Amino acid sequence: MSSGKKMSPEEQLAALGLAQQGMQRAAGYGAKLLGTYCIILGVLMGGLAALLQVFRPDADFIGFIVIMALFCVSVAAMSLAYGKLYRSLPRGHSKMYLRGFIASMVLYAVAVALLGAGPMGWGAIALIWIIVAAPLFLTGIAMVRK
Amino acid sequence: MNAHARERLNDDFSNPVRLSLMGSLQAVDEADFKSLKEAIGISDSVLSRHLSALEAGGYVQIKKGYVGKRPRTWAKLTSAGQEAFAQHVQALKEITGLG
């Protein structure tokens, strides 16, 4: 490789800092946007998981179908948003998002499986909301704050 | 100590554009051509030439694809590139007394 103009070590460190600032500014915007989406989806997924316990398929089948459809739409919307943003995220944020997303999906599936355990009290329903929402919500908070 | 650090400097990164490119790519998982161009403030042809040189050195991986019907180019550091650049930056810090 030809090197062209050479810089002193001090100049190299200064130029490096400037270049990284420019890139981090652009990536920071993507991280904040995805973080906000994560918070919204986390709260939504938790809420839908909780509502499943209210609109149980044996008691209100149409309500159950509507909730599952809303869940599918919100997951599809989130996946589209991630597909647009993942190439402009700071290093490591993609993995962070995927971990939170998968954890919330698994917990949502557990909430669906809990339908077989019979009706639950409001305390348990609120707990389901918090537990299902937590991974994505916390991931979103971490992304926005970074 | 300083003599050792100077020996660890990588000549491939002493060019300002390549140093900026490596530094920018170190901050993200991958970046598209346009973002890199805007972050560093260089022309398409200069960016293309230096990215190709870094790719030839095994430091950068370039992917071409489409977003809709528009062709796009993305670049990311290879693991060898990450390691080589981290060593270069560490050597710079040691030389300047920051490391």
Output the pLDDT for position B22. 94
Output the pLDDT for position B3. 56
Contact A7 B19 (CB under 8 A): yes
pLDDT tens digits, one per residue of B29-69: 888 898 888 888 899 999 999 999 999 999 999 999 887 78
Chain B residue whose CA is closest to A9: B92
The residue-averaged pLDDT of B59-88 equals 91
Residues in chain A with CB shorter than 8 Å from the CB of B15 are: 3-6
Cβ within 8 Å of residue A67, ≥6 positions away: A48, A51, A52, A55
* Chain-centroid distance, C-alpha B83: 12
**For residue B99, what pLDDT band results from cuts at 50, 70 and 90?**
low
Interface probe with B: pick from A3, A11, A12, A13, most Cβ of B within 10 Å: A12
What's the pTM? 0.75
Output the pLDDT for position A5. 64
**CA distance to partner chain A, nearest, from residue B44 (Å):** 17
Judging by beta carbons within 10 Å of its beta carbon (0-12, 13-18, 19+), is residue B71 exposed, middle or buried? Answer: exposed
CB-based contact, B28 to chain A, within 8 Å: yes
Of the candidates B15, B24, B74, the beta carbon closest to that of A19 is on B24
A60-89 residues touching B, CB cutoff 8 A: 86-89
Output the pLDDT for position A22. 79
**How far is the C-alpha of A70 from the C-alpha of A72, rounded, in Å?**
5
Cβ within 8 Å of residue B27, ≥6 positions away: A20, A23, A24, A27, A90, A91
Output the pLDDT for position A3. 44
Question: ipTM for the complex?
Answer: 0.73
**CA distance to partner chain A, nearest, from residue B96 (Å):** 6
Contact A12 B24 (CB under 8 A): no
pLDDT tens digits, one per residue of A48-103: 999 999 999 988 999 999 999 999 999 999 999 998 888 778 888 999 999 999 99
A89-108 residues touching B, CB cutoff 8 A: 89-94
Q: What is the mean pLDDT of chain A?
A: 89
Q: Alpha helix (H) ranges present in chain A?
A: 9-54, 61-85, 93-113, 122-145
Interface probe with B: pick from A21, A91, A93, A98, most Cβ of B within 10 Å: A91
Assess whether pLDDT exceeds 60 at residue B2.
no
Cβ within 8 Å of residue B57, ≥6 positions away: A1, B12
